[in-house]
Chains A and B, each alone.
With several copies, the nearest count.
Chain A
Amino acid sequence: MADLQVSIGALKMKTPVMVASGTFGYGPEYAQLVDLNQLGAIVVKGIASEPTKGNPPPRTFETPSGLLNAIGLPNPGVEGFITEYLPFLRQHTVPVVVNIWGRTIEEYVAVARRLSEADGVHALEVNVSCPNIKEGSALFGTDLDAFTRVVEAVRAATTLPLIPKLAPNVADIGAFARAAENAGADGISLINSLPAMAVNIETRRPELGNGTGGLTGAAIHPFAVKMVWEAARAVQIPVIGIGGITNARDALEFLIVGAHAVAVGTASFTDPNTALDVTAGIADYLDRHGYPSVDALRGTLKWER
């Protein structure tokens, strides 16, 4: 059987299939349904330095083959996370990646520093790309300078494997990927949700309580594949492919265009076991095609131009 292990810097995973931030809670939520220890890693919902309430409902809205969300990053704050959820997660062997965010660079640094002291955190994913924050945080995702500054600052604050998560609504994703690499990131993940909105034509109000939100799910998969391909060609550090994975085929596309690993998001809502089904499908594919490992398949896209 093919070797499914992959590494993102010092983050070692038994499989290349993670679950994406915000779509799998903090661990306990799906634990009765999914064997957490079989996941490559669990990326928890975004954590900030202080507790946050999040956006008014409606917070999600279904669109053709997609989901619009404006959850607004509610979270128990870094202390709340450490006391409420880390003890549970520490009872498992699955690596824990904490997705972090802030309104200012100082807030990013604070949460990164605090998590670096905690026991049971295996990597940090830096969310610069959430479209649902008002206080200027969105800028971190689309302004190359602001992005570089936040990654550099978090890098200086932690020795944990650092994975900036790129915003997809930029013209040149390669530039952001390179900036992350130059700032000392151990890997990058992409894509976060795509800014979008829906309007109720009877009320003439947005369908989301927050007005606009982020589009995710199968609808965005071909867009995400292109983004991941471009990012992977721009850098040497590992890339985590995210966006619209619903089956092993979707995940394999990301690996073939150059991703080291993938994360399943929205599809867990449709079927909680998607990540494990995808894992099994990848293993089967590698065996059928004679690849000894995930790494052997990576970046094998046949394309010259």
Chain B
Amino acid sequence: MHCVTAEVIHQEVVHGGYRVLQLRAPDLVPHVQPGQFVHVRVPHMEAAVLRRPFSVYKADGDVLQILYKGVGKGTRTMTFLAPGDTLSLLGPLGHGFPTLQPGNDPILIAGGYGMAALYLLARQLPVKGVAFFGGRSAPDILCVPEFEALGWDVRIATEDGSLGTAGRVTVLMDDWWAARSHDAAHVEAYACGPNGMLQAVAARAQQHDWTAWVSVDRNMGCGVGACLTCVLKTRTPEGDWVWQRSCTEGPVFDSRQIVWDAEGAS
């Protein structure tokens, strides 16, 4: 974990308002595990006291990349960043994705920036499988050529049908499961995306006895476990529940651990 000043090398629009920001962060890059995130102090936002969390999309050499979309104050301010600008970067933070248990069959499920959040994992996993990508519309589907280049079988669903199957990504998943041979290997799912999607993955994991690792998106304060902002309701072995910090114990949790009630995972 480091707090460094990173220089903007490049910023470009992917499509649909998504941008890739390239930062020079030699001290961070070597330590990044798939599923970890960085906490960004957005420059020129003097009235903001909080950093903004972003999954690490790529981390190679001394360059760290973030894929993001301008949705609010901070991310919109980030769209003005230009080469030569500097910003403070805290990371890598959080517990990322565990590696695949030998013999398991991996699947990926992603929505929105989740595709970026799964990229490092997708590259690192020793076995490739099916990657289910969902979004509202075609521009929300990202990184497809990259995942295909890694050997993933990318299947796409958009709610408006503008790309791939019309509907939710869960439909694709259900079809895939239905068509799957019943003595195939144990499924290990890795998911990142909107809460509803994660909950749907968790439900299937429960039903079909998959292992499912979900990366949750909670508002964050400190990012390091000190402020207790980012908590998520999780089950204890004793049948009780506790709040766990998604910045520290997460953002990746075993889906069976999570209590999916309104208060706990809203």
Contacts and interface: CB of A to CB of B under 8 A. Distances in A.
Contacts of A25: 222, 224-227
Contact of A60 (B1, B229, B242, B264): B229
Main secondary structure of the interface of B (DSSP, over half): loop
A57 B226 contact: no
Contacts of B224: 25, 29-30, 33, 272
Interface residues of B, number: 31
Contacts of B231: 54, 57, 59, 74
A29 B51 CA distance: 16
Interface residues of A, number: 36
Interface in A15-33: 22-25, 28-30, 32-33
Given A57-B218, A272-B224, A65 B1 contact: no
Interface stretch (B41-49, B104-112, B130-138): B41-49
A267 B49 contact: yes
A128 to B, nearest CB: 21
B139 interface: no
A270 B41 contact: yes
A271 B88 contact: yes
Contacts of B221: 59-60, 67, 69, 269
B51 A269 contact: yes
Contacts of A59: 221, 228-229, 231
Interface string B207-241: 00000000000110111111111110000000000
A271 B88 CA distance: 8
B228 A74 contact: yes
A39 interface: no
Contacts of A74: 228, 231, 243
B49 A271 contact: no
Contacts of B266: 57
A57 B225 contact: no
B49 A29 contact: no
Q: Which A-B residue pairs are the 6 nearest by beta carbons? A: A25-B226, A29-B226, A32-B1, A29-B225, A60-B229, A56-B263
